[in-house]
Amino acid sequence: MASVHSDAVPTPTKTHAHHDAQHDAQEPPDDPALALKILVAGGFGVGKTTLVGAVSEIRPLRTEELLTEAGRGVDDLGGVEQKTTTTVAMDFGRITIRDGLSLYLFGTPGQDRFWFLWDELAHGALGAVVLADTRRLEDCFPSVDYFERRGIPFVVAVNCFSGARRHAVEMVGDALDLEAETPVLLCDARERDSGKKVLIALVEHASRLHAARMLR
């Protein structure tokens, strides 16, 4: 793993955070901290923040990217005279696998005009969860399209609001015209266990894709 300075990140002598995974005595003290990134995408109001909050060990934090309109060109602010700034909120959460290995979840900003932010988020991402609502399936088309084009492993998780049924899985798979190996599963974004299953399915899928690519 590359490091800006050649020194590795030291293991802290005092563990301050209560949610730290148990320290593994076998682990070399200079093992660099490793962070993996998973994106949570989907339409507005589909439950991205809820899912992040359900599995995260920290309360969903919001991180904000401040944008100036100059040079962006995509903002439709016709008639607005002064230069304004827009704040884009991104939710994120964290899961500590062990000391020095953490998983970070990022809820992607909803509006289409923030696509360029996705590129930064997607860079180096392990994979993505596309949350879908069967009542507004078309809302997740852009996300599916985005990850397919870039070859980023993703799973589609159908958030069961009010009794989405089993057949929803096949229906969604067909409607989204997904590649056969792309997992589609039902989930309840409010439930931690359900969210965990989605993440496990994603990491397993990413792992399979990676193995397949190595063989090619």
Partner 1 sequence: MRVMDPNDPNWFDEEAGPMVRLYALTKGRTRPASEVFDLIAMVVADTPYSADTPYGADAPYAGDGPYGSEPGLAPESVAILSLCRYRPQSVAEIAADLDLPVGVVRVLLGDLLDAGLIRVSRPVPPAMLPDERILREVINGLRAL
Binders of partner 1 in range 104-133 (CB under 8 A): 104, 106, 120-121, 123-124, 126
Which of 25, 44, 66, 166 is close enough to bind partner 1 by CB under 8 A? 66
- Cα(172)–Cα(98) distance, integer angstroms: 35
- Cα(40)–Cα(38) distance, integer angstroms: 7
CB 112, min distance to partner 1, A: 20
- Cα(156)–Cα(130) distance, integer angstroms: 5
Residue 15 lies near partner 1 (rule: CB under 8 A) = yes
Residue 1 lies near partner 1 (rule: CB under 8 A) = yes
What backbone torsions phi and psi does residue 195 show, to the nearest 5 degrees? -60, -40
65: which strand partners? 88
- Take residue 79 and report the two structure tokens written for it: 């008639």
- Cα(130)–Cα(42) distance, integer angstroms: 5
Binders of partner 1 in range 23-42 (CB under 8 A): 32-37
Binders of partner 1 in range 135-174 (CB under 8 A): none
Residue 45 lies near partner 1 (rule: CB under 8 A) = no
Q: Of 92 and 137, which has the nearer Cβ to partner 1?
A: 92
Q: Are strands 61-68 and 184-187 parallel, antiparallel or unpaired?
A: unpaired
Of 126, 194, 125, 132, whose CA–CA distance to 157 is shortest? Answer: 132
Binding site for partner 1 (CB under 8 A): 1-5, 7-10, 12-17, 20-21, 32-37, 55, 58, 61-66, 68, 87, 90, 92, 94-95, 97-98, 101-104, 106, 120-121, 123-124, 126, 192, 196, 199-200, 203-204, 206-207, 210-211
